[in-house]
């Protein structure tokens, strides 16, 4: 097939397509190459150098996430030179931050932690010298600790290229380089819309869901996939449940369409209503001026009788229906069909239009 060619990775012949990177080909063929800054669907930057491999004929190690595959390539992913280079990179990252796993919310789902374990690094050969940045706890949704930031740039690319909010970027230089909004402001003072894309894309514990802090470790949480109820788009998300309580919402790019892991602010953070003490758990019928609990059959019969009574006395146009953006498109279709066919009126509207 046109555009197809072969390369060798660790002695295995692999089929590649024009435009694929070495990492793409390796992943497709089940060959593990560690990554940290790599973020599918965004600009390939090759910043962290954790994914370096040895290419026959090349003087230096190459970043597999950014190097295009070409015919006849011979790649080695597990040579002593490659392993030593990866260890050096990971040790430098470890030593330049405050990666205290004991109190970190990402303990157990941190890509830096996984790399350290997989490479068998007991402690970095360099003195650990965190930058000492103050944490950003200025809002109720996102907790940001730049001392755990590895400068991978994934949050920046997620903000700028996926959500296109263009809030985050690198600032300053050298060992004082950091990520944040313009003029080094807190999130609450910036143009951030709190979609949580940066939080989802962060590979460490630098940006976390503030609602879920100290509400269960990752291995204690059960994730229940569901559909967001805030509009009719049908975004997929995971409710994180701990001890029978939803502690936060998260998302997964593997869920696919329609949202491919992205969520709006309401979908990601506005879930506290689930356990609100004011939430109705049973139908209520007003009797003698007071609301009293009733069963579903009783409530539905009561509604049907009232609608029939109004229609008989005043005609169908005396009745109006208001639907909800939190219902599915199918539910809204059935509702307007009920109003037009069963009630006999076109007095139907939708809360999203008001």
Q: Go through the domains of the chain in sequence order and give each one's CATH number.
A: 4-78 (3.10.20.740), 129-274 (3.30.70.20), 280-314 (no CATH), 316-354 (no CATH)
pLDDT at 329 over 90: no
Q: What is the mean pLDDT of residues 116-140?
A: 93
Whole-number pLDDT of residue 352: 67
Record the pTM: 0.84
Beta bridge partners of 52: 63
Whole-number pLDDT of residue 1: 47
Contacts of 301 (CB under 8 A, 6+ apart): none
**CB count in 10 Å sphere of residue 272:** 12
305 HSE (CA, 13 A, CB side): 6
- 91 φ/ψ angles, rounded to the nearest 5 degrees: -65, -40
pLDDT, the chain, mean: 93
Q: Using pLDDT thresholds of 50, 70 and 90, give the confidence band for residue 301.
A: very high
Contacts of 40 (CB under 8 A, 6+ apart): 253
């Amino acid at each position: 097939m046109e555009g197809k060619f072969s390369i060798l990775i660790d002695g295995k012949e692999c089929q590649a397509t024009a435009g694929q990177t070495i990492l793409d080909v390796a992943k497709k063929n089940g060959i593990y190459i560690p990554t940290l800054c790599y973020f599918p669907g965004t600009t390939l930057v090759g910043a962290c150098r954790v994914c370096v491999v040895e290419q026959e004929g090349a003087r230096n190690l190459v970043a597999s996430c950014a190097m295009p595959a070409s015919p006849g390539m011979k790649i080695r992913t597990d040579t002593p030179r490659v392993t030593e280079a990866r260890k050096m990179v990971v040790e430098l990252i470890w030593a330049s931050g405050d990666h205290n796993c004991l109190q970190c919310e990402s303990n157990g789902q941190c890509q830096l932690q996984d790399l350290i374990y997989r490479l068998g690094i007991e402690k970095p050969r360099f003195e650990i010298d965190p930058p000492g940045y103050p944490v950003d706890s200025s809002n109720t949704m996102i907790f940001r600790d730049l001392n755990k930031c590895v400068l991978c740039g994934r949050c920046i690319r997620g903000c700028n290229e996926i959500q296109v909010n263009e809030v985050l970027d690198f600032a300053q230089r050298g060992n004082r380089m950091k990520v944040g909004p313009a003029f080094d402001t807190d999130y609450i003072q910036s143009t951030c819309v709190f979609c949580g894309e940066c939080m989802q894309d962060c590979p460490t514990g630098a940006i976390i869901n503030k609602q879920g802090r100290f509400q269960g470790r990752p291995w204690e949480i059960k994730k229940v996939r569901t559909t967001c109820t805030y509009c009719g788009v049908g975004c997929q998300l995971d409710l994180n449940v701990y001890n029978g309580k939803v502690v936060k919402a998260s998302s997964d790019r593997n869920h696919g369409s329609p949202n491919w892991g992205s969520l709006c602010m309401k979908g990601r953070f506005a879930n506290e209503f689930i356990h609100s003490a004011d939430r109705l758990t049973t139908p209520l019928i007003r009797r003698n001026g007071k609301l009293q609990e009733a069963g579903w059959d009783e409530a539905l019969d009561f509604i049907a009788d009232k609608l029939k009574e109004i229609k008989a006395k005043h005609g169908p146009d005396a009745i109006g229906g208001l639907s909800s953006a939190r219902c599915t498109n199918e539910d809204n279709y059935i509702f307007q069909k009920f109003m037009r066919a069963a009630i006999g009126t076109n007095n139907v509207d939708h809360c999203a239009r008001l």
